[in-house]
Amino acid sequence: MPSDEEVVRTASAAAEGVILDFYKQSELTDFDVTVEFEDGVLDIDVYVNPPEGADPDPDAVADEAAVAAGDAVDDLFAVGNGE
């Protein structure tokens, strides 16, 4: 069973990876990934602020990053359970 810290690190890394797949870090005005894992509940909040007119839509990227974070945690638990 992964530790809470490992869950948070895994989710954060996955979300950040998705964001940086879409935008160069130097292009971003700001981005924030907040992950909490408490009592078996995962809460992920992703904020992306690229330059005006950037493509793709930052809300879509944030949503995709949050999904990727959740999927990475699911995979982490699957590996921990021997799947």
CATH number at 53 reads: 3.30.300.100
Q: What are phi and psi of 72, to 5 degrees?
A: -65, -40
Q: Which of 24, 26, 35, 36 shows the shortest CA–CA distance to 61?
A: 24
Contact status, residue 75 vs residue 12, Cβ threshold 8 Å: no
Q: Please provide the average confidence, as pLDDT, over all residues in the chain.
A: 93
- Residue 41 CA to residue 78 CA, distance in Å, equals 16
pLDDT at residue 79 is higher than 90: no
What range defines the domain where residue 65 resides? 4-80
CA distance 5 to 15: 16
Give me the pLDDT at residue 58, please: 94
How many domains is the chain built from? 1
The residue ranges of DSSP E strands in 1-83, in sequence order, are: 30-38, 41-49
Given a cut of 70, whether residue 20 has pLDDT beyond it is yes
